[in-house]
Amino acid sequence: MKRFACCVRLGLLAVSMIFLLTTALAQSAQPQNDAGLPWKPVAAPQGVLPADTYAAKIKNFGRSDEFLTTKKTVEDLLDNTIRTIMPSPLLKQKDLHIALHVVEFGDTAANPANQNERNLKINSSAWYLYHKDVSFEEFTGQRIYGSRNVIVLFLHLNAKGLSKNNAKDKLLSNNATSNAQNELKLWALGDGAVESIFADVHYEAAVVKKTAANIQSFLSVLKILGVVSRGGQNGPKTETENVIVWGSGAITNIAVPSDVHLAGYATAPIYGSASPSEEKRIGSEVAFDNEGRYLWDVSIGIPVHKIKEVQYSSSAGTVEAKQVEKQNAYAMFNLMPWPVDIKDPKSNLVPRILLGFPLGGDPWSKLFAGCGIGLPKYMAGSQFFVGVVFNRVSMPSTLTAGASASEAELQNNSRLQMEKKLVVGINVPVKSIMDKLLNK
């Protein structure tokens, strides 16, 4: 009875493994198509920050040796931007991530097609990802570990405008409406002002769920528009200064796993754009990989040696015993001691329990149980495994080699028995195999 219950449990486990393995293979093999993403507005300019306070520190965001200072700077920026306007419940979400887009503009240039228009020029563009206890690798990477809440904060350096104090003195008191140098209109933006070419921008977001069976996107966009008002048509002109334009927006109820795409756009063309499709995009589009850590994974186990077993047959009325060697690859179900990022090759260093069955032949005849672990510097993306194969074989109960018996008599005398065989080999994640097959 105990043996029957054990077989039932192993059978249910094997069925689950087949389903999970099939699903993983289908999802890995399906090509990703970024065409027709469900873009929606997410952010617009909301205020102006003083360049002399932040610009130099922001330009060091990509330096690992300045990361402690960077985190303090980001916290200060958040205090003076999104934390002044975002709802408190959203800011308290434990999974909240801040996507920062830092753009450094150059001098505006005349539009070659129309000398009366101005083109934006971009000197540099970079995306960063911030959350509590973030590491430098995460800050400069594009990996979100299963978050349903993302805030977009853009920081545009070298914009021309007026800081809070100067806007109050020059724009409001004197009713100045344009830059004395280039005639561009000044727009009131929060407590400051900025040239119209830098204020007329917006950001869009698209969340694409990555589950192959259900491609529908679950996206709830909290659109937060800055209060931007045009200045009057007439009035004295004023000198501007370098300022930082900021804006933000939130994406909530994000499907997991998913790809979170973000991009900023300007009304004015970007100087030196490579193609018409990019002529108004501010810097680069980014796609954050939003997927959590898991307690399980599916892999393929490849033994490094063959399993020996004895097979019995009857030839010319005599029982014969012959030793044969068999080798099978195994579908492995991996159980982790804690959630891990299975996309990171370093996850192979985490030990795991392995349960599997052969991919060829009768899946119930050679069930496997064991454990696996990777070796640093030697087994990137794979593991060494060791375990026991429960080899089910047919053995005669009373007959022996050399005894007289027909094939029918041998079969009637045979009983199924379970032999335990030690197996060692290499454990390779399904994703690694599919990546090589698809040349990713």
Positive or negative: CA dihedral 344, 341, 333, 331: negative
Fill in the amino acid letter for 126.
Answer: A
pTM of the model: 0.72
Q: Give the closest residue to 349 by CA, choosing from 382, 387, 395.
A: 382
Give the per-residue pLDDT at 125.
Answer: 94
127 closest CA partner among 154, 100, 105, 107: 100
pLDDT at 322: 74
- Residue 352 pLDDT: 93
Report residues of the chain scoring pLDDT below 50: 1-35, 115, 174-175, 180, 211-235
Residue 8 has a pLDDT of 41
Q: What is the pLDDT of residue 277?
A: 59
Q: What pLDDT is recorded for position 419?
A: 84
pLDDT of residue 223: 25
pLDDT in the model for residue 274 = 55
Q: For the chain, first and last CA: distance in Å?
A: 49
